[in-house]
Structure 1
C-alpha cells in the first residue's frame, strides 16, 4: 500500500477498470524487506525470552548431578510406604523427587515432607501418571537421577481378582515404562518394590529367596502377585545385558507408622474393604465401621486363620536404604524383607485390641479369593549380605505407634 493520499488517488481503480494498477517495484521490495525484518526481530525476541526461562535453560539442583549428592526418584512417593521412604531418604540427606498421580497417594503427605525439608534442592513433587510414556520420558530428560525407588503400584489382593487388567497395566506395563526411561537416560540404579505374593503358596516355610516362583503348583494365585512376578521377570531379563545395579525387595505384610507421628496410613474411604488388616482394625476401633470382618477361618493353620509375617514400615524403608547403599553395577540382588515370624490373623486382631484399648467386634466370613494360608519369611540372606534385620518386631508396639497417628487423623490427612 502507498503512503500518500496522492499516490492512493492515482492508483485506485475505477469501477469499470478490469484490473488494479500495481505498486512500483521498489516500494513492494521495501515492504517485503520490512516484513522479513519484523519476523527476524520477533524470532530473536522469542529466543531471548526462551533462553531466560528458568524451566528451559537455567540448571536447577534437580537437573544436574552433584558430587556427593545422590538424587533418588521415588515413584508413588505420596503413598503409604513411598512417603515413609522419602522421609527416611531426606533424613539421610538424599535429594528426592516424588512422582505420583495421587490416585492412591496423599498430597498432604508430600506437603508435610516439604515443610520438614524446605531447603532448595532437597525435595520436588511432580504430578504424573507412569502410564504416560511421554510424560515419564520428559521427567527423566529434565532431571538428573542417580537412582530410582519404584513403589508406585495398586496393591490390594482382593481388588486384583476383581479388576486384573488394571493390575497388569499399573504394575507390569508401568514398570516397563520406567525401566525403558531409566535405560534411555542411563540411570544406574533401580530398587524395585516387590512382594512375597510372587512366591504363591509354597509347601515349605519359611520362604527363602530360592523358593520356586514358577512351578504350576506354587505359581501366584492372584493377579497382584502375577503382575509383580511379570515385572520381576522383565527386570531380570533386562539385567542380563545391562550395567544397571538392581535390587529387588520382596516384602511381606506392612504395618506401623512413622515413629514421630508425622506420617501414617490413610487409604481412600472407598478402598477400606480392600485395604490392610491394620486399617480395618483401626476403623473399627474408631467406630467408623461397626467391627472387623475376618475372611477365612478354615485354613490349615493353628487357629484356622491366615498366617502372615508383619513387617514394620520403619524397618521396611531401612531395608530400602541399605539396598541402595549396597547396590552394585551389573549385579542383581533379591531379598526377602520380613521378621521371620508368622502371626495369625486372630493373633493380629487381639494385639490390635490391646494397642487401641477397644474390644473390637469380629465377624467371621468365608475366604477371600486370592489369599494364601501361610506366608512368612526367612530373612537370613538380607541380614548376611546387607546387614539388615528387623528391629520393630513387637506387634502390639508397632500397632500402638500407628494408633497414635490414627487417633489424631480420624479422617486421614484431611483431618484438621
Structure 2
C-alpha cells in the first residue's frame, strides 16, 4: 500500500513511517518542517533501509498539495499535521483553528477530488473532556474541551463523522492517543520539542542531561495514591504499530474509533521514579500548584483495539523510560548537529 503521511517528520509520524516501511508499504511524507527537521528523513531511511518520498509543503497550500496528489497515486492518508501544544493554543487560537481544522478540511477536499477515501486521523484522549471517568472507552460521549487544541480534535472528529454519514464509501479511522513517550530502540529518532518542552518525559530527559534544572510537578493534592496526576503513558512504537493495525479497516467502508493506550495509569512521580530506576539517574523535582484544565486521572480502556485490531501495547513503563533516555543521551541537542 502507498500511504501519504502528513506531518510525517514529526515525533509520532516518523515512528509510524519506520513501521510502515518495515512492513513493506511505500511512504510519501509531507511536512513543512516547522516542528521537525530534514535530518529525521535521513534517519528514517537509515533505520528502514528504504527510500522515502518527501515534499516540504504545508497542507494549507492547496495548489502544492494538489500537485502531490496528482503525482503520487496513494491508497490512503495518515494525518498527523497539526499544532499540538496546549498552552500555545490558548495564546494562538486562530492559528490553531486554521491549521488543525482548515488544514483537515482542505486535505479531505483534495482526497475526494482524487478519489482517495481511506483516512486515519491522529486524535487524542483530550476529546473525552473532564467529565468522563477512567478507564475511558470509545462509547463515552465527547466532553467539553478545556483549550483550543482539544477543541480542534473534537471538531475534526465531528466533521469526519458528518462526512461519513453523507458519503458512506469512505474508510475512516479515528485513533485517540493517550500519552506517547519513548523513542525508537536505535536511539536515532525520538521526541524533539522546540524550546522548553510542554510534555513530561522530554522535560525529564532534559533535566537528566543538564539542560533544565528540575522537573515542575503541577499539583500534589489530587485524589490519587501520591497526589499527583495519573496518566496512561504509551510507548511511541506501540502507538505507531497501532496505525499499522488500523490499516485493516481500510479493507471496507466505515468509520471506527479506537483508543491507543495501555490501560494502566501511572502518576507523575511514578514516571519520575521509574526513569531514575531504569537509567540510574537522579531527577530533582519541585511541587507547584495545579494547572488549569488538568484532570486527576486519565487512562484508557484499550479493549476495543485489542479485540477488533488484535493490537496490544507491548512496552512497559521501564522500556519507555530507557528508550527515552537513550534517544536524549545520544542526541543531547536533538536533531541539530
TM-score, with structure 1 as normaliser? 0.78
- Counterpart CA distance in 2 for 1:354 and 1:166 is 41
Residue 241 of structure 2 is aligned to residue 310 of structure 1: no
Match for residue 124 of structure 1 among 53, 56, 60: 53
- Counterpart CA distance in 1 for 2:99 and 2:34 is 11
Give the structure, 1 or 2, with the largest relative contact order (CA under 8 Å, sep 6 or more).
2
Partner of 2:319: 397
Count residues with an aligned counterpart. 336
- Counterpart CA distance in 2 for 1:259 and 1:115 is 13
- Counterpart CA distance in 2 for 1:167 and 1:297 is 31
Return the offset for 1:157. 1.8
CA contact (8 A) 1:296 1:305 kept: yes
- Counterpart CA distance in 1 for 2:235 and 2:293 is 23
Residue 225 of structure 2 is aligned to residue 295 of structure 1: no
Return the offset for 1:296. 2.2
Residue 35 of structure 2 is aligned to residue 104 of structure 1: yes
- Counterpart CA distance in 2 for 1:258 and 1:285 is 19
Partner of 2:165: 240
Structure 1 residue ranges (4+ consecutive) displaced by more than 6 angstroms after TM superposition: none
Partner of 1:319: 242
Return the offset for 1:117. 5.4
Residue 133 of structure 2 is aligned to residue 204 of structure 1: yes
CA contact (8 A) 1:157 1:370 kept: no
- CA gap of 1:331–1:338, structure 2 versus 1, over 3 A, is same
CA contact (8 A) 2:279 2:325 kept: yes
- Counterpart CA distance in 2 for 1:356 and 1:163 is 37
- Greater displacement, 93-102 / 154-163: 154-163
**1:237 match: secondary structure:** helix
- Counterpart CA distance in 2 for 1:251 and 1:115 is 27
CA RMSD after TM alignment: 1.5
Larger Rg: 1
- Counterpart CA distance in 1 for 2:318 and 2:48 is 31
Instruction: Give the gaps of 5 or more residues in structure 2.
Output: none
TM-score, with structure 2 as normaliser? 0.95
Matches within 5 A, 1:35-184: 70-116=1-47, 122-184=51-113
Instruction: Give the gaps of 5 or more residues in structure 1.
Output: 1-69
Return the offset for 1:116. 4.7
